[in-house]
Structure 1
Amino acid sequence: MSDRGTPDGSASESPAPGYYPDPSIPGYIRYWDGRAWVPGSSRRAPQEGGVLSQPTPPAGPVWTLPLQGPFTSVERGERAAPVVRRFAARAVDALLKSVIVAGASEPLWLAVLRHVRQRIDDAAAAGQSTTVWLIDGTTGVLGAAVVAVALVTGFLYEALPTARWGRTPGKWLFALAVVDVETMTPPGFRRATRRYLTRFLLNVLLIGFLTSSLWPVADYPRRQGWHDKAAHTWVVRRSATPLDWKPLRTRLRRLIGPVRRWYESWARRPERTRTAEAAAKAEESRGSKTRLDLVGLSDRPETAAAVGSIEAVLERVFRTLGPPPEGLSHDKEPVVHGGGGNAQ
């Protein structure tokens, strides 16, 4: 069989009309009319010697397989996801959504707790035996607001990624994907929304765990929960396509470049301060050392001998000159020149 799945091994010719293994349901067969699968013709594979009747032609348009044969998805190894792997992925998604919802609705449930505590304190202060209902008008409105926050958060976390990529963070972690049962592609916005809302309603009715985690155990070979049946989706085991990180790394560098430079400047500020302080201390040390050397010159023997000789020479000079002459004064009298009156 070729890569297009033609029985005769030719990739250029389409398979002859007939029943072939259903690419979306192991153990089932579906009718191929020579160009496309016939909708509604999927059925369980017959026993040895069984005869199958030709299906009636569809009245509307049929799904075509561009550039693919009827066995392409089977050759890719797409099979129903194991229940244990699906349960683990669901647990991861539930944990992440719970954290997000708890953080987003914190003011609401804190207000509920304060209101209930206030009613209990009022009843205790009254000194009478009374019944305090935990659900009243205030707590009911706040509880509905918490449910609305959980609904919106789950839609953004689960429905939109499923519509676009067919997987949530939990399914990506465990190599699972949600696909359309006919096209084997991501289900799209409408079916992803229907799938999420159905499961959310089942969770509100407290049967979501049964229908989404335990029901696929008995639903063989499709392994579909009620929400998958309502949305016509199928959870398969499929690894994610490797991402091209080069453009992402370039954008991240451009984004965090200014932040990194600011952080490096801020982080190196103490180091620059320590360097400046060390330079100032070294300069001060050099200045004080010079002053100490100048002061300490008088303690040296050669300095004392030079000073003594200078004093002896000066003493001999003053004795030779003798005392200053008498009548020498530095006072000046003004001299008046005839009529001008100018003082000098």
Structure 2
Amino acid sequence: MSIGPGWYVDPADPDTRRYWDGGGWIGAPIPVDATPPEGPPPEEPPDEPAPASPTAPVSAPGIPADGQPLPGQPQPGQPQPGQPLAGQPRPGQPYPWQQPGHGHPQGPPPGWPPGGPPPGWPPGGWPGRPPEPRPHGLPLAGFGARLVARLIDFAIVFALNAVVNGWFVWRLVEEVTPYWREVFRRAMAGDSSTDGLPQPSDQAGGLQIVILLIATALWLAYEVPPMASGGQTFGKRLVGVKVVPMSADQPLGFGRALRRWNTLGLPTLLWYCCGLGLLLQLVDALSPLFDHPLRQALHDKRAQTVVVQLPRGHRTTPGERSTPDKRTTPDDRTPDDRTDPSGDTP
């Protein structure tokens, strides 16, 4: 599995982070709880070799002057206990081919596959369970929070439809009630015949189309503008979740918000086709349960967005990035990366 460039916890020294460029570690390590800079670290000038001391050579500890080791001591040329083998770096230090300015090419040595796992990691990717992604430093929203926000939004859109679509729905009910009343009466009497059933007029089909068009337009008008400016509908604001682009922490914009809504909202027009649109929307709504690691729904994948959980006490205004409320307490802040290592994704 190829691991993309980014700042990751150094497997050789879990208290530090280093930048992985897709082929090797580069740059100096930083503390694991420090905020990584944007992009790779700046290149460091090569270290100047220390001048040779004119002092006389001193024998290694535990080896007498005649050069013969004492019993139990390692042979000359063998590493001391706890010391790395020749050619291997100390814990937290880069490999020679990862050190700029030392005559080694930047990249893995022969035999290392391009884009493979960092040195010291088992083949196949992360050692153990991969850390939870934190887009833009924020945790991903859980499915429960997203579901509650969506139900709140559906309730609001339903109330709008009751006001705007109420007359058309009443007319449709009047058209189809005689048919279904007679069907129910015959079923109770054990009569399964369909002869002589009162048929709805041609106006019933037109009323269904008008109702679906109005319902779709109301949903679009309710969701797309606030999502484009602030990434939150009223339901998402109440629950404390927000939709952000994967590429940058900025407003979605109208085009991205419309693409995101199209995948979930436009199938409303297909409710007329034996409920096909409702089935498509159900599949889309459940898709975050099966998507890893970013928990994206189908409409998130189309718009390249993720849904994050805002810390308690944070508030947003349309067109602005989330800012902490002055009343936020230390207990309300997002845990640092020491307790929940970050696998930041771009």
Instruction: Please give the TM-score of this superposition, normalised by the length of structure 2.
Output: 0.47
Q: Which one scores higher on RCO, CA 8 angstroms, separation ≥ 6?
A: 2
Instruction: Please give the TM-score of this superposition, normalised by the length of structure 1.
Output: 0.47
Bigger helix share:
1
